[in-house]
Amino acid sequence: MIVPPDVEQTIYATHLGRMVCYSPTGPLWQAEHRRQHGDSASSKKPTLVFLHGFGGGSSAYEWSKVYPAFAQDYRVLAPDLIGWGRSDHPQRDYQVEDYIQTILEFLQQVSQQADGEPLAVVASSFTGAIAIRAAIQQPELFRCLIATLPAGLSDFGEDYTQSFFTTLVKTPILDRLLYFTGVANSEGIRSFLNSRQFVKPERIYPEIIEAYLASAKQPNADYAALSFVRGDLCFDLSRYMPDLTTPTAILWGRGAKFTGPELGRKLSQLNPTAIKHYVELHDVGLTPHLELPAVTIGLFRKFLDDLMAEQPSRLQKQQIGEGASS
């Protein structure tokens, strides 16, 4: 797998196996005061978690052009989800509850390491929709949420599973053949990225293909990918949006081919109380953070400033209380 320099790996346990997590904590990312005083200087940083989306060869690499930019101000973690990247790949037909539960198990452990403080979470595409459901189930874990193109793929009654391709993928033996011939090779990865994720094919440079291919060729990587493509994981996010209470920002790429911005507008309008920002970005598709990482970083900084102020940390609340009493 391809990771940025001085990024360390840690392991988190879930009921479906180990999740490998990447953190920019090496000397390259440490401020001078942390070099002098050790981990205690960074122990009060808020935690920022990046969750990658689903697709052929997805992994935490998807966020690797973005998350190091936040290392000075946040404790940053970017895991490979179960079934993807370097994390465990159990042989199973995955259901959406598997990912809601394993993500919550991961976030619980991360929050415990941060003395129980809630977390700022960034999540991409389908995982953004899962993160919204996770935040509804356990809002105490979430300080705020940024979701890029969150969609459950069966939103507002759409039936993703009725397409010709998903029908093919539901055919035993043929499904594996399609995966290994159409996805788990360089041309398959390029075609997938070009047709689904990117607006401009010239932005798909060799490193991206190499990183996605390395994940797609992991043993048993086909199980999670095929569960997703078959539609086993899909759900109607519109049914859940009104229940969200976490302060949230949504970024939508106007060039997304299968989940256009009209879907983002409709979903955001279901809960204007929780959705503090809804921004559409021109000239990008499903992964703005890979197509225009610098622009994405700038927008995320703006979102985080506003969203974190909406939900003060426990330490900040304590300081506010002490100030009021004095």
DSSP string covering 223-275: HHHHHHHHTTT-B-GGGTGGG--S-EEEEEETT-SSS-HHHHHHHHHT-TTTE
Model pLDDT for residues 151-209, shown as the tens digit of each residue? 999 999 887 666 655 665 667 767 888 888 888 999 999 999 999 999 999 999 999 99
What are the strands, taking DSSP E only, across the chain?
8-14, 17-23, 47-51, 75-79, 119-124, 142-148, 248-253, 275-281
CA distances from 40 to 31, 36, 62 (A): 12, 10, 30
Our CA dihedral for 153, 57, 229, 170, rounded to 10 degrees, sits at -170
Pull the structure tokens for residue 257.
Answer: 């081919």
- pLDDT of amino acid 176: 84
Residue at 1 is within a domain: no
The number of domains in the chain is 1
Single-letter amino acid, residue 159: D
Residue at 290 is within a domain: yes
The predicted model scores a pTM of 0.92
- pLDDT of amino acid 320: 46
Residue at 3 is within a domain: no
Q: How far apart are CA 109 and CA 164, in angstroms?
A: 41
Residue at 185 is within a domain: yes
CA distances from 289 to 285, 286, 292 (A): 10, 9, 6
- pLDDT of amino acid 217: 95
- pLDDT of amino acid 167: 62
Which residue segment(s) compose the domain that 152 sits in? 8-325
SS3 at position 17: strand
Residue at 44 is within a domain: yes
- What residues of the chain score a pLDDT lower than 70? 32-43, 160-170, 173, 312-326
CA distances from 260 to 52, 253, 296 (A): 19, 8, 18
Can you give the CATH number for the domain in which 264 is found? Answer: 3.40.50.1820
Residue at 2 is within a domain: no
